[in-house]
Chains A and B, each alone.
Chain A
């Protein structure tokens, strides 16, 4: 494996790990349910995606790479669906969209 691929894969894995930790931190730090969903989306979109890309570079052109791609597509389609279902259910059960009542909505 060439050095450039190795370095790129290192960088992607590190960035993905950093996004995962930041997402977890946001999950703990942010106040209110709806802001927390954004932290979870950093975790799914940024963290998981970058870690998968880093692993993909390590795998090369093998069946392992195909499986990593399948995991990626699964997250790509399933995570927004789950997040939307979560938000919609929370709204239907009366979790307030706007906390503190200060955030103005357009129109």
Chain B
């Protein structure tokens, strides 16, 4: 019961974040919404695992989280420097 309520709240939040991703005027708004959707999807997977009594879903959530970070950083780097091979400035302290 309580997992269903939490899942419902997450669904509403996902819908709102999706609205921002569709409407966002700049690409950074969309990337921000995409990052939030990733976090919400992780939570959704975890809650769904408990809802269905199958905690194996947590492995999927971990994997999703790792890919989400890499995806966000890759998209940002692409829009910042234009290609993914650029090593960027690396100030050695």
- A: residues with CB less than 8 A from B are 9-10, 13-14, 16-18, 20-21, 23-25, 27-28, 33, 36-37, 40, 43-44, 47-48, 51-52, 54-55, 58-59, 64, 67-68, 70-71, 74-75, 78-79, 81-83, 85-86, 89-90, 92-93, 95
Contact = CB atoms under 8 A, between A and B. Distances in A.
Give the dominant DSSP class at B's interface: helix
B80 A89 contact: yes
Contacts of A74: 62, 65-66, 69
- Name the interface size band of chain B: 35 or more
Give the dominant DSSP class at A's interface: helix
Given A13-B6, A16-B6, A55-B46, 18 more contacts: A17-B10, A20-B10, A21-B13, A23-B13, A24-B12, A27-B20, A33-B29, A40-B32, A40-B36, A51-B10, A51-B47, A52-B46, A68-B46, A71-B46, A71-B58, A79-B35, A85-B76, A93-B79
